[in-house]
Amino acid sequence: MNEPIGKVDPVVAKLIESESKRQEEGLELIPSENYVSRAVLSALGSVFTNKYSEGYPKRRYYGGQKYTDLLETEVINRAKTLFHCDHANVQPLSGAPANTAAYFAWCNPGDTIMAMDLTHGGHLTHGHPVTHLSRLFKFVRYKIKDIETGEIDYDHLRDTALMERPKIILAGYTSYPRNYNYKIMADIANEVGAVAMADIAHIAGLIAAGVIDNPFDFGFHMVTTTTHKTLRGPRAGLILTRGKVGNPLAKVKRTIENLPTLVDRSVFPGLQGGPHMNAIAAIGVALKEASTKDFKVYAEQVIKNAKVLSTELMSLGCKLVTNGTDNHLMVIDCVKSFEVDGKIVEDVLSKVGLNLNKNVVPDDPLPPYKPSGVRLGTPAMTTRGLKEFEMKEVAELIVESINSRKNETKLKAIKEEVTALCKRFPVY
């Protein structure tokens, strides 16, 4: 029971060591990934992993819940304060379960949900045909009006909402480089009697720090998020709501006021069993960190870095979707920039230790497994301490690697430059 992992399981221990080395010696440009603090890691590996806590504080189905109740209540209160909402469910195991529970809290099978088109930046859980959710709900789409600026076609969004009468209008994305006009979307939702919902998985840390808009400040009713991206927490999820907080297990009418209870019942017993209390402990630590001045400085730097990186990439000949960014991410159209697909670019950059992911561009003619673009961002690099000067260096390394993709000698030299850069900015 008390032997170190290296003695108990040397195979897994070696893999952990190898992954740690990979993270240290390469730059993480994937905008949905980040590095957690040692404090978050400590909470995630704590004895709370031993405890089964099915239910909610004061309403559990097992004994021995004194400290789990105190923990979950504390984390709920931290989330409410940080995100300006009335209630927080901190039990979702990740972002997909959070979205699923949120849909079922307000919708019946067959109901309509409006979300961003997947090729224009929307997420898999926003109704992609390959998901189970698309078989249960009818999803209708809105798109970007102007690909050059990223402006969303809010007039078409409103016309579609008036015609389709969705139960939920969802603002949320996985690869949209601009910001929403939450006020317009909330007004449209109110006009058609829909719940205004935002999936802020990518930008939760930026919202918590107050450096970009919070949808709750513009009349949104419900917000879902992961906790492991810009928020720098464990891999888990949150559902945040406005409304009257009551007994989380009570049967209530489906009204906006009752959203907190509807969500709680949807998460448990509707979707999940016992929560992962070790993950909730780690969420609590991350929320504590996100409430500090240092985190606000970090979030501001994420956006500064993204703007410099995007500007530099464009100056080096890259065609970016929407010609820049307002948040932490950007999408390069590799076909227009280099006459190669995103899979080739992902593989080439991986060779030199620059890790990003292939990604579709709006109305992409190529398939998702070999799309036209790649997606990259600045959260993880900013956590390591890279700033504007280094963003220019990274942009040059990216473009040089792509242009040298058939020159193994040159790629080896670039990899050495990346390794040297990483040594200047260690993860831990």
Catalytic pick among 24, 25, 33, 54: 54
149 is catalytic: no
Catalytic pick among 229, 265, 307, 405: 229
Catalytic pick among 224, 226, 230, 322: 226
The answer to whether residues 152 and 183 touch, using CB atoms and an 8 Å cutoff, is no
Q: How far apart are CA 37 and CA 19, in angstroms?
A: 16
Of 354, 361, 249, the closest CA to residue 26 belongs to 354
Q: Is 68 exposed, middle or buried (0-12, 13-18, 19+ CB in 10 A)?
A: buried
226 is catalytic: yes
The answer to whether residues 176 and 153 touch, using CB atoms and an 8 Å cutoff, is no
Catalytic pick among 235, 296, 351, 410: 235
235 is catalytic: yes
Of 107, 152, 98, 106, the closest CA to residue 125 belongs to 98
254 is catalytic: no
Catalytic pick among 28, 72, 199, 346: 199
165 is catalytic: no
Of 78, 140, 79, 147, the closest CA to residue 115 belongs to 140
Q: Is 406 exposed, middle or buried (0-12, 13-18, 19+ CB in 10 A)?
A: exposed
Of 39, 22, 23, the closest CA to residue 380 belongs to 23
213 is catalytic: no
Q: Which two tokens stand for residue 96?
A: 């997909």
Q: Categorise residue 245: left if φ over 0, alpha if ψ from -120 to 50, beta otherwise.
A: beta
Diameter of the chain by CA atoms?
A: 67
Catalytic pick among 52, 143, 257, 417: 52
Of 210, 211, 181, the closest CA to residue 198 belongs to 181
Which active-site residues does the annotation give?
Answer: 52, 54, 199, 226, 229, 235
